[in-house]
Amino acid sequence: MARYQYFYTCPQCGTHLEFKMRVTQTKRRCPQCGWRIYPEEIDRQAEARVLARRARERKALPYAIAIAVGALLFCIISAFLSSR
């Protein structure tokens, strides 16, 4: 199982960060530019990643169907040819 992590991209400088905890007692800042890191922003980015993944899956679905239909046709044709 993957480690439980929170990923964060600094909106100010684009640095990618990983957190083990969503919320800490101390205020966190970007190590590159000092941008204040809020848990709400971590949540927002996590949600955006889920939506992006769903959009990718929707885009990949027609290709998956085309491959399945192609494989089925190949089976039918090869069965037809071998039966002659």
Residue ranges binding Zn ion (CB under 5 A): 10, 12-13, 15, 30, 32-33, 35
Q: How far is the CB of 30 from Zn ion (least distance, A)?
A: 3
In terms of CB distance, is 10 or 42 closer to Zn ion? 10
User: What are the structure tokens assigned to 35, written together?
Assistant: 């941008």
Cα–Cα distance, 29 to 37 (Å, whole number): 5
In terms of CB distance, is 30 or 42 closer to Zn ion? 30
Q: How far is the CB of 16 from Zn ion (least distance, A)?
A: 10
Q: How far is the CB of 15 from Zn ion (least distance, A)?
A: 5
Which H or E run includes 65?
helix 39-83
In terms of CB distance, is 12 or 78 closer to Zn ion? 12
Query: CA-based angle 3:35:47, to the nearest 5?
Result: 45
3-state secondary structure of 6: strand
